[in-house]
Structure 1
Amino acid sequence: MPDFLLELFSEEIPARMQGRAREDLKKLVTDGLVEAGLTYASAGVFSTPRRLVLTIEGLMAESPTTREERKGPKADAPEQALAGFLRGIGITDAGPVMALAGQPSGSHIHAGGVVVEVRDDKKGQVLFAKVTKPGRPAAEIVAEVVERTIRTFSWPKSMRWGSGQLRWVRPLHSILCLLTTEAGADVVPVTVDHLTSGNTTEGHRFLAPARFAVSGFDDYAAKLKRAFVVLDSAEREAAIWHDATTGAFASGLEVVPDAGLLTEVAGLVEWPVVLMGAIGEEFLGLPPEVLQTSMKEHQKFFSVRNPKTGRIERFITVANRTTADDGATILKGNLKVLSARLSDARFFWENDLRTVANGGLEGMAAGLANVTFHNKLGSQAERIARIAALARELAPLVGADADQAELAAKVAKADLQSAMVGEFPELQGLMGSYYARAQGLPDAAAEACQQHYSPLGPSDDVPSQPVSVAVALADKLDTLTGFWAIDEKPTGSKDPYALRRAALGVIRLVLANGLRLPLARFGDDLLAFFHDRLKVFLRDQGVRHDVIDACLAMPGNDDLTLLVKRARALQDFLGTEDGANLLQGFRRANNILTQAEKADGVEYSFGADVKYAETDEERALFTALDGAEAAIAPAMKAEDFGAAMAALAGLRAPIDAFFTAVQVNSDKQVIRRNRLNLLHRIRAACAPVADLSRLGSE
């Protein structure tokens, strides 16, 4: 079985595109090979800034011969129908086939690899075609698949160059395409516009630019390494992180982790060389997040932190080559550019501090009166006024001081007018917290500035400080109620204003802080939206959908903390043997009762009397219900769902015994009515806990 090696060598591929390109290349080629009948043992895919590489081991040497039988039209069908069927099996001349009409069953003709035969069918004589497709050599199939892959490959952005029609992310320079067996390596001939495949590639652009021939993947990878190219992006990442952290540790410092930046930088270099430089003393007073953001966004530098002070004191850059001066010239050039960038950041920082010193954060926010939030919802300043009023109203419900909550809401978005956030929008909120502290505002207000956007996603931390919670809730609820008021709701997959994210943020704030927040006040339609988002949230945590529905059907379902507490207790209860069996007993009682009430046209909802009990099992059920009802009522009042369900669990055995020993539909009408009313007591005993009728059979 041959091994396959494909390299597509080009100008630099943007780092952000390499991961997707690797997976697309693997899928397109392997899917194409399998569809053509070639299976394989394993496949691997790699990338560097200048190459996409696919290697396949254990590829079949040729596709198998296949035989297929197809049923066609009647033998005496019109010529047009026959011609259509025959074209589908590769026969262009319908004449010989038409001669089969009226011939005995088994008559047939040969046409290439196709046999057309007449067979008797319940509808008369019908044509059947036996199509044989001979196997093809792997090289022939590989050539077709590779050419199609290159011509149809989809990049987020692509270009044409020269006079050719091929589109690629950057000019494509060469195609290496080999099939290797024990007998040697053969080039698979592939021609795409001006490019013809071969067995050569290039090493590092500067350190080893000469082309060289390879005979297979192992030879290819080894020669690339000698030519200063680390093929595997994961290996480059590991090398960068090892060298960076080791160098920082040797200086008593630590590298600020950034997995996304590490992946991106590994996609920018073929031969990573880690260099560490010092940040100018004049910039060390900048907030560490400003230094980190500026270096990451503008120059792809890692930040190096002093663990004792928390200050960012150095940077790490990753060069794409070794140099005679061990990177001194590279560091000097990088530091020159970095100093210019950080000079801008320092100017923004000092300018913002002067603005706050002169007019406070509310003065900084004054310009938001001229910034439109939405043409139907007014300016950002008008929105802030609404958020401040709502934060003050919510404060008592979250344990916050109303004055502090209102103050924090008024200044939380002031940094949107700051020069720093204008340069680095991702720092909004965080810069507000720095400016709030510079103004001397309470810590609670400063924290609220930073945290009121949270949680932004499912893994984001949830604020717990009361003032921050009040402002974060007010911010999200104002967004939701505002867009609901102008009928701009999410539809299908479209959610341009991130309202689903805002609703999930409210849910997480409420649940994480155990808030008792009545959401019905914001409208039934919006409450239904919260319920939909809550279903998704709880299902992701393993809570059954029917359990959620059973709890949503209960009063007080706008109190999400109570709702989730009920749902979790019910799910836990149903996971026990008592819970599962009690549910079966409830269903049986409910079904019998529902059918009887429908047939009789009356409601059996009162009057069950133990004096009409004829069996010990009936009397035992009366006693058990008395005890359960007495325990359930105070448990529900105390919202102790566990205790309530423990009381229900005590009904399991009496209910089982009752249905085993007792016939509900007795011939004696008094006894029958009494037993139906007793079944109602079972239903009523369960009713305060959840609507068990909504539970499925999970």
Structure 2
Amino acid sequence: MPDLLIELFSEEIPARMQAQAAEQLRKLVTDALVERGLLYEGAKAFVTPRRLALAVHGLPGRQADQREEKKGPRVGAPEGAIAGFLKSAGLASIDQATVQSDPKKGDFYVAVVEKAGRPTPEVIAEIIPAIIRSFPWPKSMRWGAGSLRWVRPLHSIVATFGAEGDEPEVVRFEVDGIVSSNVTYGHRFLAPAPITVKRLDDWMAKLEAAKVVVDRDRRKDIILNDAKDLALASGLELVEDEGLLDEVAGLVEWPVVLMGSFEERFLDIPDEVIRATIRANQKCFVLKNPKTGRLANRFLLISNLVASDGGAAIVAGNERVIRARLSDAKFFWDTDRVNGLESRMPKFQSITFHEKLGSQAERIERIVRLAREIAPRVGAEPALAEDAATFCKADLLTEVVGEFPELQGLMGRYYAQGEGLAPEVAAACEEHYKPQGPGDRVPTAPVSIAVALADKIDTLEAFWGIEEKPTGSKDPYALRRSALGVIRTILENGLRLHLVDLFDAACDYRLSQIASRPSEGSDSSDLRLVVKAVGKVSATFAGRHVASHAIELLAFFADRLKVHLREHGARHDLVDAVFALEGQDDLFLLVDRMTALARFLDTEDGRTLLAGYRRAVNILRIEEKKDGRAFTGPTNSTLFKEPAEDHLADAIEQVKSRVAAAVAKEDFEAAMTALADLRAPVDAFFDAVTVNDPDPALRENRLKLLDEIRAATHGIADFDRIGG
């Protein structure tokens, strides 16, 4: 079957756009082909800095013929309806239509429209220009006097179609004066002459000979392998960087790896700063000395050509730029160390964190107070947590972080170490930002944990307090990520924290700052009105008064916890079932309880008891709706007429007592074992007892007994919320 080859040859395509553009070209073309009845066997897209290409394999030579019946108006319909039918069906007169009868609707016209399939090249010639003209580049440009917009000036289009062994035909079309052909061009400098190509294998081979590696993954492999080999030859190791590898593979069509060097004096700069400098400015890889574990004064650059001087001039040019950039970095590093962290703290007073939340200095003050409160709960020394929280944001005002924002936190650690601060404080300056994504590690040192939790909890409470919550599509302050960071830190460190208490404390700290702000010329009554307007609206949680939005924030955490656990294969309905119980804000304990519940429900006892519970609750709901009242215990034992009633009542009392004792000890496995003892009495009760007895007193007592089943299970979870 024939194959299609498309190549769009242009000026250099930005590396960041290439992978997405290749995928979009593949999808747009293949979707358009399938939509027109042209099914294919396979398709692969290619992209280099100067060309976007697609090969589609196994296309038919033409579309299949189509036969379609179009139902028209009834016989005797108005002339306007008949005229519209004739036009849509492509008929010259109504005599060309047939008449069909329907027992209900009577006679009506039917047109049989037969459409011959078109040759595939003809269809392609219609598809490709439309795709080129509407291609969704993130940014595009127009050049010359034409109207076409493309990422960079488009020079030529290759479009060939044909079966293997045959001479492919050129699919003829024109886009803004550019006529399709079978001619492409090789490497800009090494082989710029025109090349006539046929199909995919011929195109790839001829471009390879013209110093163009068209497969992006193969260019990446060449760069990576040659870089490793060159590093090994010098007794060094390549510091791999997948992001940089992706980028440089989009900058070259014929990758050549060269090694350069810089002065050893620059190795006084932290490795991360050297790497960021070289990466950001010259897109070069750094090398590591395996003996010391630190960077070597060497780097690898990726050239796009084979130079006649072996690349000496290219290396020298890169060395000049890197030397200048490293000189700047060393100046920043030295300047930052002269001006210590503490000297920067007053500047935060003039930097606004958020117009409704005050300055960065106020935010740091809140983090300090919250970190000190959290510290003893996570095994940290409060004084160390206070010091770490005080300086954790100081590096944001340093020269190095100003130049390389991605080094925030890490540079704080270096500066804290250089000033002789406690190791725990230095570590917390870096680690309090973690985790910054699903694959990032969580802090494990107690002081780091205290500051990390304080930072994230303050952020969450503050934005909830001013009604700046995430929506379905927007989360500008990354509050979902902050909540997930708190969840992971708690669970992975096995921490026992009551979140609502911490949310409430954060609220108190924030509101106390508002109350203490100067009135800026207003009298004291105006200030009191402001504080009252933003003051704490209390609600009750587990018998204590807390900020109402703290409970809303806990519900947000429940949703985030469900997402987190679902990604690890857990059932989200069990999170709802456990969270529904009063006072559940200890995430570690909640997950422990949920895990035990999941194991129990996977047993025969668990499944049978759940079925019995649902039967009991369904009866209760029906009868309560019928009577317009709830049937709640206690039951009257003198009204028990069947042994099964006595046995169930005794079992419920024993189970409730055992479950309560086990839950108090946080032994949820024992609680589930106790709950399993309800299975047999519940089954026996439903086998032997008619709940809706004609005697009203017996009926009411038995309904109350069903409610006792519900009460017994609620010591573990809200079984109403369990699905399945």
TM-score normalised per structure 1: 0.92
Any conservation in 1 of the 2:11–2:153 contact (CA below 8 Å)?
yes
d(CA) in 1 for partners of 2:84, 2:461: 61
What's 1:444 paired with?
Answer: 424
C-alpha deviation, 1:167, in angstroms: 0.9
3-state secondary structure, aligned to 2:429: helix
Residue 213 (1) aligns with residue 196 (2) = yes
Correspondence 1:231 to 2:258: no
Question: Contact 2:13/2:152 (CA < 8 Å) preserved in 1?
Answer: yes
- The aligned counterpart of 1:127 is 109
1:670-696 deviations in whole A, cap 9, x for unaligned? 655554444333222211100001222
Contact conserved, 2:631 with 2:700, CA < 8 A, in 1?
A: no
1:370 Cα shift?
1.7
Which segment is superposed worse, 43-52 or 276-285?
276-285
Report the 3-state secondary structure (helix = DSSP H, G, I; strand = E; otherwise coil) of the residue aligned with 1:510: helix
Q: Which amino acid aligns with 2:196?
A: A
Letter in 2 for 1:580: R
Q: Which residue of 1 aligns with 2:414?
A: 434
Q: Give, in angstroms, the shift of residue 117 of structure 1.
A: 4.2
Alpha-carbon separation, structure 2, partners of 1:633 and 1:381: 47
Per the TM alignment, residue 618 of structure 1 is displaced from its structure 2 partner at its CA by: 4.7
Shifted more, 422-431 versus 568-577: the winner is 568-577
Q: What amino acid sits opposite 1:199 in the alignment?
A: N
The one-character-per-residue Cα deviations of 1:449-473 (angstroms, maximum 9, x if unpaired) are 1111112222221111111111111
Is contact 1:175-1:197 (8 Å) kept? yes
The within-5 A match list for 1:519-530 is 519-521=499-501, 522=503, 523-530=550-557
Q: How does 1:246-261 map to 2 (within 5 A)?
A: 246-261=229-244
CA separation in 1, counterparts of 2:625 and 2:34?
A: 60
Q: Alignment length, in residue pairs? A: 674
Q: 1:128 to 1:611 in 2, by over 3 A?
A: closer
| Residues 615-665 of structure 1: CA deviation (Å, up to 9, x unaligned) | 4x5555455445433431221001122221122123223322332333333
Is 1:87–2:87 an aligned residue pair? yes
Match for 1:603 among 609, 631, 635?
Answer: 631
1:112 alignment partner in structure 2: none
Q: Do the aligned residues in 2 keep the contact of 1:75 with 1:118 (CA within 8 Å)?
A: no
CA displacement at 1:570 relative to structure 2: 1.8
Please name the residue that 1:184 is paired with: 167
Equivalent positions of 1:621-636 (< 5 A) are: 621-622=648-649, 624-636=651-663
Decide whether aligned partners of structure 1 residues 50 and 535 sit closer, same or farther in structure 2, where only a CA change above 3 A counts. same
Matched position secondary structure for 2:168: strand
The residue number in structure 2 matching 1:167 is 149
Q: 1:143–1:188: 8 Å Cα contact kept in structure 2? A: yes
Query: Which residue does 2:118 correspond to in 1?
Result: 136
The 2-side partners of 1:408 and 1:446 are apart by 7
User: Which amino acid is the alignment partner of residue 300 of structure 2?
Assistant: I
SS of equivalent to 1:308:
coil
1:685 aligns with 2:719: no
Q: CA deviation at 1:79?
A: 3.3
Please list every run of 5 or more consecutive structure 1 residues that lacks an aligned counterpart in the other structure.
98-107, 110-114
Q: Distance in 1 between matches of 2:353 and 2:153?
A: 43
Post-superposition offset of 1:84: 3.2
Matched, 1:567 2:611: no
Q: Distance in 2 between matches of 1:626 and 1:118?
A: 76
CA distance in 1, matches of 2:344, 2:84: 76
Distance 2:135 2:712 in 1: 64
Q: Out of 481, 484, 490, which is 1:510 matched to?
A: 490
Q: For residues 272-321 of structure 1, what are the alpha-carbon distances to aligned partners after superposition, in whole Å with 9 as ceiling and x for unaligned?
A: 11122223211111101101111111111112112332321121111112
**One-letter amino acid matched to 2:180:** S
Deviation at 1:158, TM superposition (A): 0.6
Query: CA 1:659 to 1:19, structure 2 compared with 1: closer, same or farther past 3 Å?
Result: same
Matched, 1:350 2:350: no
- Aligned position for 1:78: 78
1:4-27 deviation digits (Å, cap 9, x = unpaired): 111111111111101110111001
Partner residue in 2 for 1:105: none
Give the aligned partner of residue 497 of structure 1: 477
Q: Which moved more, 1:368-377 or 1:50-59?
A: 368-377
Q: Aligned match of 1:412 in 392, 398, 417?
A: 392
Once the two structures are superposed, residues 311-346 of structure 1 have per-residue CA deviations (whole angstroms, 9 ceiling, x without a partner) of 211211111122233322221111111111111100
Letter in 2 for 1:531: A
Q: Secondary structure at the match of 2:375?
A: helix
Tell me by how many angstroms 1:537 deviates.
2.2
CA distance in 1, matches of 2:441, 2:87: 64
Structure 2 equivalent of residue 340 of structure 1: 324
* Aligned-partner residue type, residue 590 of structure 1: V
**In structure 2, do the counterparts of structure 1 residues 302 and 116 end up closer, same or farther at CA, with 3 Å as the change threshold?**
farther
Q: What is the deviation of 1:350?
A: 0.4
Cα 1:653–1:398 change in 2 (3 A) is: same
- Residues 83, 410 of structure 1: CA spacing in aligned structure 2 closer, same or farther, 3 A cutoff? farther
Aligned with residue 586 of structure 1, among 613, 629, 647: 613
Do 1:362 and 1:410's aligned partners in 2 also have CA atoms closer than 8 Å?
no
Matches within 5 A, 1:596-675: 596-599=623-626, 601=629, 603-607=631-635, 609=637, 612=640, 614-615=642-643, 617-618=644-645, 620-622=647-649, 624-667=651-694, 672=699, 675=702
Match for 1:158 among 140, 147, 155? 140
Gap runs ≥5 in structure 2: 504-549
Which amino acid in the other structure matches residue 134 of structure 1?
A: A
Matches within 5 A, 1:473-484: 473-484=453-464
Q: Deviations over 1:143-196 (max 9, x none)?
A: 111111111111011111111111111111111110122332111102111111
User: How many angstroms apart in 2 are the aligned matches of 1:117 and 1:285?
Assistant: 92
Matched, 1:277 2:257: no
- Say what the alpha-carbon RMSD is for the aligned residues: 2.1
- Kept in 2: contact 1:3–1:58 (CA 8 A): yes
Q: CA deviation at 1:88?
A: 2.8
Paired residue for 2:287, among 299, 304, 307?
304
1:597 shift after superposition: 4.5
Amino acid at match of 1:607: T
Per-residue deviation, residues 79-112 of structure 1 (Å, max 9, x unmatched) = 3333333333335x6xx33xxxxxxxxxx41xxx
Q: Kindly tell me: are residues 328 and 571 of structure 1, through their superposed partners in 2, closer, same or farther at Cα, counting changes over 3 Å? A: same
Aligned twin of 2:223:
240
